[in-house]
């Protein structure tokens, strides 16, 4: 298995699993909670066919990557991404994140700059700042995140089921845009996440990215569904064009959080148009 070592816990290496296919301009796909690089199964073949080199990887704690009990914060996640980018010596790369993965893209560009990056894409984004605060009154109260973490800790499989219900808007899209089999595959993958990661990642959703956004100096595409039940459009993606120098927002009508699966055709069209533009 191709991996890059990003640290150690006790005497064991912490390794990030990745897949690297094709040739051409590199596109790095960064998945959301609680899945893995397999979340991009409807994008990878399309990008390869269009002539791009496509790299996916599993965040620490998920998929085939190591499951350490530390490092579940965006400074570490961005450092893991940087280690992979430098290990593969990527140049002129496009960083594409979904959900939690948009935090890696944003923090990477805010911390390490764009020397190796040509463009960025934020699908169903978590920036700019979800947490309710004096200077962010329209955010989400801390108590909601605490309740999520408590539920995840008490019964992770049940928590994952409830999360994925909202992830796919299962109440309205089941049997049409999301099959029972695809939903089950996501749950099967979700419950392989480490017990630590399943809980610890929830508090990272309150990360403040507002200082990172003005530092982004490459063109950015934001793609989000207007029926996103996990990260509502008005609290996230709709705010970004005013905070990033060069950002284009594409809103997908009726799209849930998991638009890369349910509305793959529209997401892929927006992505390819942006890559070629």
What is the arithmetic mean of pLDDT over 59-79?
98
User: What average pLDDT does the chain have?
Assistant: 98
User: Each residue of 183-220: pLDDT tens digit?
Assistant: 999 999 999 999 999 999 999 999 999 999 999 999 99
Average of pLDDT values for 151-164? 98
Long-range residue pairs from 163-171, CB within 8 A, at least 24 positions apart, any chain: 163/33, 163/34, 163/190, 163/230, 164/190, 166/229, 166/230, 166/256, 166/257, 167/229, 167/230, 167/256, 167/257, 167/258, 168/256, 168/257, 168/258, 168/261, 168/262, 169/227, 169/229, 169/256, 169/257, 169/262
How confident is the model at residue 22, as a pLDDT? 98
Q: In the structure encoding, which two tokens stand for residue 6, read together?
A: 């990003």
pLDDT at 107: 98
pLDDT above 90 covers a percentage of the chain that reads 100
- Report the pLDDT value the prediction gives residue 262, as an integer from 0 to 100: 98
List the alpha helices (DSSP H) in 113-232. Answer: 142-154, 156-167, 170-173, 180-190, 195-204
99 counts as catalytic: yes
Q: Which of 31, 98, 257, 263 is catalytic?
A: 257
pLDDT of residue 201: 98
pLDDT, tens digit, 9 for 90 and up, residues 217-242: 999 999 999 999 999 999 999 999 99
Give the pLDDT confidence score for residue 261 in this predicted structure. 98
Whole-number pLDDT of residue 96: 99
**pLDDT tens, 14-55?**
999 999 999 999 999 999 999 999 999 999 999 999 999 999
Cβ atoms of 65 and 72 within 8 Å: the answer is no
Residue percentage of the chain with pLDDT more than 70:
100
What's the mean pLDDT in 134-149?
97
Over the stretch 108-130, which tens digit does the pLDDT of each residue have? Answer: 999 999 999 999 999 999 999 99
Task: Assess contact for 79 and 112: CB atoms under 8 A.
Answer: no
What is the three-class DSSP state of 160? helix
Q: Which two tokens stand for residue 254?
A: 């009726």
Among residues 236, 276, 227, the alpha carbon closest in space to that of 126 is found at: 236
Other Cβ atoms within 10 Å of 148 Cβ, number = 17
Token reading at 109: 């560009």
Instruction: Select which of 99, 124, 186, 194 is catalytic.
Output: 99
- Mapped onto helix, strand or coil, the DSSP state of residue 261 is helix
- Active-site option among 80, 124, 228, 263: 228
SS3 198: helix
**pLDDT value of position 166:** 98
Let me know how long the chain is.
277
Whole-number pLDDT of residue 36? 98
Look at residues 69, 37, 42 and name the one whose alpha carbon lies nearest to residue 56.
37
228 is catalytic: yes
């Amino acid at each position: 298995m191709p991996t890059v070592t990003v640290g150690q816990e006790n005497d064991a290496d912490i390794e990030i699993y990745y897949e690297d296919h094709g040739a051409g301009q590199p596109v790095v796909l960064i998945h959301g909670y609680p899945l893995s690089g397999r979340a991009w199964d409807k994008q990878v073949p399309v990008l390869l066919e269009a002539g791009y080199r496509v790299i996916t990887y599993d965040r620490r704690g998920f998929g085939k990557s190591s499951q350490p009990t530390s490092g579940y914060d965006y400074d570490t996640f961005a450092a893991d991404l940087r280690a992979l980018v430098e290990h593969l010596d990527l140049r002129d790369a496009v960083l594409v994140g979904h959900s939690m993965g948009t935090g890696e893209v944003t923090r990477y560009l805010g911390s390490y700059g764009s020397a190796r990056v040509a463009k960025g894409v934020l699908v169903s984004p978590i920036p700019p700042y979800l947490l309710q605060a004096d200077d962010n009154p329209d955010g989400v109260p801390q108590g909601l995140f605490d309740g999520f973490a408590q539920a995840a800790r008490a019964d992770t499989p049940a928590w994952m089921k409830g999360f994925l219900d909202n992830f796919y808007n299962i109440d309205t899209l089941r049997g049409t845009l999301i099959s029972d089999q695809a939903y089950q595959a996501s749950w099967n993958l979700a419950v392989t996440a480490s017990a630590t990661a399943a809980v610890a990642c929830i508090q990272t959703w309150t990360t403040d990215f507002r200082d990172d956004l003005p530092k982004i100096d490459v063109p950015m595409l934001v793609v989000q569904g207007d029926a996103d039940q996990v990260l509502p459009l008005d609290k996230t993606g709709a705010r970004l064009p005013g905070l990033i120098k060069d950002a284009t927002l594409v809103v997908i009508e009726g799209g849930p959080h998991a638009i890369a699966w349910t509305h793959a055709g529209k997401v892929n069209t927006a992505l390819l148009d942006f890559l070629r533009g």
